[in-house]
Amino acid sequence: MDTRINIAVIVGVVFVLAFAVTLTQYENQAVSQDAEFEISDELMTHWIEKYDPSQNTISVSGSATASSEPDTLIVVLGVDSEAKTANESLSQNSNSLNAVISSLTNSGISEDDIQTSNFRIYPLYDFSDSKDKQILIGYRVSNMLSIQTDKIDSAGNVIDIAVSSGANRVDNVSFQLSDEKSQKISDDLISNAILDATQKAEKALVPLKQQIVGVKSVIIHDNAMPFYDSPMRSSFAGMAMESSMKSAPIMSGDEEIRTDVSVVFYIAQK
């Protein structure tokens, strides 16, 4: 009986010692892991400065606008041709369009200012004889040019010359700022937009007895709102083109450039 009791006591002591050793190892491992992920003072300071909820801010938008006369004219025009075969239609179209290009360059428009904006060849069908059957009757070729020039007052003259030389479509006339001029105006407006945002913030803070003490962020948005003449789509087939388009009066308008900013200010009690 005493022997059994002694054996049980010995076994119990062994289990207790094993448990104590295991627990000690686990605690040491936890301490070691905590040490590995210890946050440096520098990182903690950065987080506090960036995410400190005690930092009060105000978000404000500001804007500035300016109007300027456009310095670029864009005219989209071209030739539509129809014939029984695609080759014949294409040949007619090419001859007419080459004559248009030649007349434009002779008038002082640079070849660099002329480019193809749209080219299409598609079949023509007759559906009149049968509702269930389409009859191929020919092909249409459409070749459109985009003429871009700094001769802003030459819109009417460009159209007159093109139509007189064989163009039978004028799709659009528009006026806009060149990229260089638009960018310069936008750059000049940034400071005015930020000043507008600052003034708005200061006015809003007066009744709150707060003041601006710093800037957290600035976002700049550029918006150009160009002025376009009404799009025009005209076909002159079968018309007295020279008399109908001679000295067409086409006038440009001002283009408005707008710059918007979003500013977040740090604020504090006065």
Give me the pLDDT at residue 149, please: 92
Residue 222 clears pLDDT 60, i.e. is over it: yes
Closest CA to 64 of 192, 176, 172, 159: 192
Which CATH class name applies to 71-176+228-251?
Answer: alpha beta
List the structure tokens of 101.
Answer: 């290009």
d(CA 122, CA 65): 46
List the structure tokens of 87.
Answer: 């080759």
- Report the helix count and the strand count for the chain, using DSSP H and E: 6, 8
What is the pLDDT of the chain when averaged over all its residues?
A: 79
- Each residue of 14-51: pLDDT tens digit? 445 554 545 455 455 544 444 455 667 777 666 655 55
Minimum mean pLDDT among 94-108, 144-158, 186-200, 244-258: which range? 244-258
Please tell me whether the overall predicted TM-score, pTM, comes out greater than 0.75 for this model.
no
> Domain-by-domain residue ranges, the chain?
2-38, 56-67+182-224+260-269, 71-176+228-251
